[in-house]
Amino acid sequence: MRTNLSGRIAAVLVGLEGLGLAALTVREIVAIVSGDTGSIESAIALAVLTLVGAAAVIAFAFAIWRGQSWGRSGGIVTQLLILAVALGAATGAFADPAAALALAAPAVVVLVLLVLAVRDAGRAARRQRDEESDGQAPGGA
């Protein structure tokens, strides 16, 4: 299935989010190597989980680019998780509204693009189904 413009833009932006997570993984590894951690076990676990998350988000980006629905679904879940983190950054004892906005604004843009891509993919699938059913012989034979 051919991906529309909103899907292509969303794929690029989700890919950039994945690369951001990969960069965060590198930063965590540097902290581990330099001894700048409170608990080495927790730091290693966090680095591994961040790397797994980066791989998943990058996989979502490739799937979105190829027009696969699981990539769009994963991208939407990713944006909702980012928005949850942004909400956490905006509230609490150590609230940082600027950081929350920096997280939330791109997530909202990507979420809107992904919803548009889902809508367009649904339209394309219905159009393809209608074209296929128009080409069938009467009686379904």
Enter the pTM of the model: 0.86
Scanning the chain, the segments in alpha helix (DSSP H) are 5-34, 40-65, 69-90, 97-134
- Among residues of the chain, what percentage have pLDDT more than 90? 80
**Which residue in this structure is represented by tokens 């590198």?**
26
pLDDT digits (tens, 9 = 90+) for 10-39: 999 999 999 999 999 999 999 999 999 999
Classify residue 35 by its DSSP letter.
Answer: T
pLDDT digits (tens, 9 = 90+) for 73-108: 999 999 999 999 999 999 988 999 999 999 999 999
- Cα separation, 54 vs 8, in Å, equals 19
Is 126:33 a contact under the CB 8 Å cutoff?
no
3-state secondary structure at position 96 = coil
- Cα separation, 118 vs 58, in Å, equals 18
Residue 115 has pLDDT above 70, yes or no: yes
Residue 70 has pLDDT above 90, yes or no: yes
pLDDT digits (tens, 9 = 90+) for 47-61: 999 999 999 999 999
Query: Per-residue pLDDT averaged across 59-66, rounded?
Result: 97
Can you say how many angstroms the Cα of residue 45 is from the centroid of all Cα atoms in its chain? 22
